[in-house]
Structures are given as structure tokens and as C-alpha cells.
Structure 1
Amino acid sequence: MIDRSDGRDDGEQWTLNYQRLPGRAGISIILESTTQASEGPRLHQHPYAETFVIRRGSATFTIGADTVEGRAGQVLVVPADTPHRFTTGPQGYEAVHVHANPEFVTTWLA
């Protein structure tokens, strides 16, 4: 078990990154929750797939040449080596980002 580093237990307003998970999980994850609109990372890519499990709100994703609206209850998968970014929607966004690698490997493109 891994506890939240800031001591909160309400699941709100956080972004935490977890690498080298116990039990040789073989993945790394980002837990993200914000009520803010228009937030998100700049264009980047990974040499492995990244899966977004959207739990609340929405975000506009750019995945390669495509733009899609991801919303609560959806799962988006970005293939390896595909440039991507997202911007949170008007009601914010909560998601689990699963990186198919035990450590984050990111190439920033913008």
C-alpha cells in the first residue's frame, strides 16, 4: 500500500507520480485530480503506451493528428511513440494515467 504523500485522504486536488511500484508491477502511474479548467501537460511522447482512465470531468486530448474529448467513464489509450497532450475541461478532471513501464520516460516536444 502507498499512502498519499500530503496526508489527505479525500481524493481531491492532487497530482502524484508513482514509479518503481512494489511487487514488480511493471507500470508507473500518475493520479490526477483538479477542479481547474485549461490545465495539462505540453506536447510529449513515451516509448511505451499510456492509458488514461477518466473518473470525473473531461479533457481535450491531442493524440497524434487527432483531437478527441475524453470524459468520465472513458478509457483512452495512446500508443507508444505517439505525441500527445491534454487540457482539462470546464469542470476539471480526475484520472489515473497508467504508463506501461516501471519508470517514466518522457520526451518533451513543445
Structure 2
Amino acid sequence: MDIKEELFRPILITKGRKTGREHKVMLRAVNHNGKIYFSRHRPDGDWFQNALANPLVKIQYNDNEFIGNAKLVTDKTLDEKISFLKYPGEERAKEKRVTIEVTLN
């Protein structure tokens, strides 16, 4: 089953980079061009650091679980696009963010 919504709130499950245990967090996500994006202001969050250290992640949404591979977005234009999709019409869409891209398996 595919995720149809462009903007949605799934649970992202990462593997703890220190503990090795599952770490769950509900986040606002963007579905764009067949990929799922998660972003934040700084790269210091546990989920963000975990996804970089252990790229195999899970996404739970609408009673479904999806498995994918995460990677850091290095394209600043794409970063900006994701922010505008994540915060449509909001001033914070203009803030600089760091973004993780998840390709579902």
C-alpha cells in the first residue's frame, strides 16, 4: 500500500545509534516525488542522528508499516521545496532546515 497524502503525520522508527533499540517519534512528513521527507532546524535530534547512523528505518501510518532507507538531503533547492510543502503558507517555511529523504523498499 502506498501513502497518498502529500503532508501527513506518521511515526518514524529509527534504530538507536547508542542503544540499538527502536526509537519512535511522531513527525510531520512530506510525500514528494515518491519519497518521504522529514526535516528539522538542526541535525542534533536523536531521530535525525539515528537515521544517519542506521539508514534502515520504518514508517508507521494508518495501521501500515513501511520499511525504507534514509539519507541526508544535500540539495539546498530540495531542502527549501520540502520546507514549503511541509509548512504551506507559514512563515517558518522560509527557515533553514536539515532534511532526511526516505526511499521506501
TM-score (norm 1): 0.28
Q: Which structure dedicates a bigger proportion of its chain to strand?
A: 1
Q: Which structure dedicates a bigger proportion of its chain to helix?
A: 2
Structure possessing the higher radius of gyration over alpha carbons = 1
TM-score (norm 2): 0.29
